[in-house]
A and B are shown apart, each in its own frame.
Chain A
Amino acid sequence: MKRNTLVELLTFWKNWHFRLLLDLTAKMKFCLRWKSMGVFVTARHQDTTMYAVSADSKGLDTVVGLLADVVLQPRLTDEEVEMTRMAVQFELEDLNLRPDPEPLLTEMIHEAAYRENTVGLHRFCPTENIAKINREVLHSYLRNYYTPDRMVLAGVGVEHEHLVDCARKYLLGVQPAWGSAEVVDIDRSVAQYTGGIAKLERDMSNVSLGPTPIPELTHIMVGLESCSFLEEDFIPFAVLNMMMGGGGSFSAGGPGKGMFSRLYLNVLNRHHWMYNATSYHHSYEDTGLLCIHASADPRQVREMVEIITKEFILMGGSVDAVELERAKTQLTSMLMMNLESRPVIFEDVGRQVLATRSRKLPHELCMLIRNVKPEDVKRVASKMLRGKPAVAALGDLTDLPTYEHIQTALSSKDGRLPRTYRLFR
């Protein structure tokens, strides 16, 4: 049991920390001064873990102390580990039962795209590994990855000097609970995009958790390598993602929903049997993935895949100026709207500083978005289409075309799947 556990340990981490924080909150609740305590959040993304606290600005000192305590001095008692194991198990079962396939599909597409390395390793702990994780394992993970050069303390709405003082007081020179004895040997692997296919056959005919039946659907996700968020091409890719847009077919629509994005206009409006067509863009420090998720009835999987490959090919074609402007405006407004919420600002500041040691301010990003031209979008789309696809499929997969056919379709001029000849109809 080796490296693979490491990423799964993060699942443990999230559940565990929630618990410890709740303990402390319980204690704090008895101190009336700290009624102003706000939200405790731990979030775990594919490549980062975030601990966030919101409180009244008078409590900055306590809050930084609290965070330092939580991060550096975790009390990993056996009963906590046991309870976390149960929580993780519950989370896994919940993942398999719920009708919304999003988290599972995201994990599968990463597994397919980055075969067996870095971001492609399991994010959710597989059942057989739950029992193997204990205190030493967690400590060894912490020892290797929770080092000063991989951590960022970010504050929003506080004075810089004040924050630095608190950091000095609580974080400087503190010995973490797991000891800092030997020289650490961290995994600085570069994420390697390989492309590939990940299939999960599952009977989706009875996924509804309530009395209303949900139609049986097969979900597929087709992705191609884009670029990391450090490169200049990241903004054109973001605009391209917004231009594709999409969503569920049962959307009520409305302004800002993306009703005029390509996946709605070309796919969902024209083919009533498509239940969902959405485009996602995941971007990390050394690589990125642009994918389209589609769902439909199992008998129409082949047509669905063909429609998606056609849409990918059209991405490399000409871009209408009006469409591009709409996508750029939508991206800008979504960026500004998201940056109004605290957790998103935390994440933005933290990630940017971790990766680039500086932060691009929102108006700089808006300027970069405004400067995107149709040629940029066309160029990045063509570059993307040269690579190998990554395919994830969930549900009844009898009619799914083979990976080689999908690859051929994505390299062809029009995106059509190769014709298969069936002798018996």
Chain B
Amino acid sequence: MLPDCLSAEGELRCRRLLAGATARLRARPASAAVLVPLCSVRGVPALLYTLRSSRLTGRHKGDVSFPGGKCDPADQDVVHTALRETREELGLAVPEEHVWGLLRPVYDPKKATVVPVLAGVGPLDPQSLRPNSEEVDEVFALPLAHLLQTKNQGYTHFCQGGHFRYTLPVFLHGPHRVWGLTAVITEFALQLLAPGTYQPHLAGLSCSGAEGLAHPKQPLASPCQASSTPGLNKGL
């Protein structure tokens, strides 16, 4: 069921799928970049997550996220930002050749772009990492098999001003709940790595420039499709 994404053919397929978007988006300026580390923990493919320190202030303290951060003027491109931040936060140095490509950029509520960079980091033991305790409280990995089980997937509809606006996926029953933009990026990664086995939940999130994936499972509906009949009406 789960295609062997850690094999050489799997990696080649993903690289090829992402090549077009990577070439287009790599040099484009963005506010922030995160690294989506695809690692293998005890032979099982998994994604690596960080738990942000609760000592940080701001809207995302204590949340689960991928390693990454704001783009520095000194960075050459978004890939460089993601790798640098990963090195600073986790002490994990990922060489640039291990980067497979760029996933679709996401937009946070302040309209800042966050570009996810998918990289294969190979076999890894999350316990062996020494994260920077000022920024990261905990590092953990969620196996792809766990993320692909429907009982661990959920979604939340969000409304604004009395109208349905968008749906975000959420991944449950791990050591910590994965929600928000991190869940959206996870969804993109799952769509790429395990096509056909994952039903995406994301809807209604306006994103200009929706390139990045060859063929998403369901076309994203724009919020402009709001119809005027009252009652239950989702923008899916």
Contacts and interface: CB of A to CB of B under 8 A. Distances in A.
Interface of A: 1-6, 115-118, 121, 126, 128-129, 132, 134, 136-137, 140-141, 144, 185, 187-192, 385-388, 404, 407-408, 411
Contacts of B224: none
B61 A6 contact: no
A3 B54 contact: no
A292 B123 CA distance: 47
Nearest to A122: B162
27 contacts: A1-B163, A1-B230, A2-B159, A2-B164, A2-B226, A2-B233, A3-B159, A3-B232, A5-B162, A5-B231, A6-B232, A121-B159, A136-B230, A136-B231, A140-B231, A141-B231, A187-B232, A187-B234, A189-B156, A189-B167, A190-B155, A190-B156, A192-B168, A385-B54, A386-B54, A408-B57, A411-B54
* The 9 A-B residue pairs with the shortest CB-CB distance in the complex, in nearest-first order: A140-B231, A190-B154, A2-B164, A4-B162, A386-B54, A189-B156, A3-B164, A192-B156, A116-B158
What range describes how many residues of B lie at the interface? 20 to 34
A60 B55 CA distance: 58
B118 interface: no
Interface in B198-236: 226, 230-234
B100 interface: no
A4 B165 CA distance: 10
A2 B162 contact: yes
A411 B162 CA distance: 33
Interface of B: 54-55, 57, 59, 61-62, 154-160, 162-165, 167-168, 170, 172, 179-180, 226, 230-234
A180 to B, nearest CB: 15
Contacts of B172: 190
Contacts of A140: 230-232
Nearest to B231: A140
A388 B62 contact: yes
Contacts of A118: 156-157
Contact of A116 (B54, B62, B165, B234): B165
Contact of A190 (B164, B170, B233): B170
Contacts of A408: 57
Contacts of B156: 117-118, 189-192
B179 to A, nearest CB: 6
Most chain B beta carbons < 10 A, residue from A136, A189, A385: A189
